[in-house]
Amino acid sequence: MGALSRLDAVNRILVASGEFPVSSLTVSGANDVTIAIQMLNEATIMVQMNGTNTNTIYSEVLPDNNGKIYVSDNIIHVDTYGNSADRNVAAQGRNPTYLIDLDNEGTSVFETGTSLFIKTVVQIDFEDLETADQFFACDQAARRYQILTVGDKQSDAVLNEQAMLSRINARSKDVRARDANFMDNSKSYWASIGGRRYWGPR
């Protein structure tokens, strides 16, 4: 979806620290490219943790015949909304991942036939992020990479400004995509830059 490839992003990270770009991400052993890829992978997850318009899914789920509710294995966070807003659940396990009921001693067995409205934040690949989120993740990674490998304070100040600008662009993109505004609360909740996010229907 996004305009940047992983190679573009890694080269942006390397160049931000005064290093030469590379023509391939195929490397062996521990080197600058490996570290840049790791920083990008971590930043990609961090940018998605609070939920963006792209990786936030609203759904109604039902327990199976055994009372279990299974969710996607790439889930980062789960919360309830709407008629289930007062329910407290969390995701647990991996392959498969399932919900637990924190209101009922953390059991993984829910009452059969009772639906839940859940909002899941899922992890998606860097290439599938929207362009604004790609730049946000990339510039966050570039700053961390520079501090780790070079440690120049002046460069950090410049990269911090760039990362903040990318963050603003990503937040603005989210606000536009969600049609959030402060004049019509019947449609949405105002999601200010760096402030409260719109968490969907209530």
pLDDT, tens digit, 9 for 90 and up, residues 37-63: 999 999 999 999 989 989 999 999 999
**Who's near 172: CB < 8 A, 6+ residues apart?**
132, 193
Residue 83: predicted pLDDT = 94
Structure pTM?
Answer: 0.82
- Does 113 or 179 have the greater pLDDT score? 113
The rounded mean pLDDT for the chain is 88
Instruction: Answer yes or no: is pLDDT of 17 > 60.
Output: yes
- Is 189 domain-assigned? no
The overall longest dimension of the chain from CA atoms, in Å, is: 60
What's the average model confidence in pLDDT over 74-79? 95
The strand pairing partners of 58, in sequence order, are 119
93 and 74 share one domain: yes
Residue 34 domain boundaries: 6-50+125-178
Query: Letter for the amino acid at 173?
Result: K
How many C-beta atoms surround the C-beta of residue 65 within 10 A? 6
Residue 70 vs residue 179, higher pLDDT: 70
In a domain, 197, yes or no: no
- Give me the pLDDT at residue 177, please: 85
Model pLDDT, residue 118 = 97
* Token pair recorded at residue 94: 């991996």
Number of independent structural domains in the chain:
2
Last residue of a domain, one of 122, 152, 169: 122
Phi, psi for 13 (deg, rounded to 5):
-65, -45
pLDDT for res 194: 39
Report the pLDDT value the prediction gives residue 202, as an integer from 0 to 100: 45
Q: Give the start-end residues of each E strand in the chain.
A: 56-61, 70-71, 75-80, 89-92, 97-101, 116-122
What is the spatial distance between Cα 56 and Cα 169, in angstroms, rounded to a whole number?
18
Query: 29: which DSSP letter?
Result: S
Stretch 75-98: mean pLDDT = 95
Q: Tell me: pLDDT of 21 over 70.
A: yes
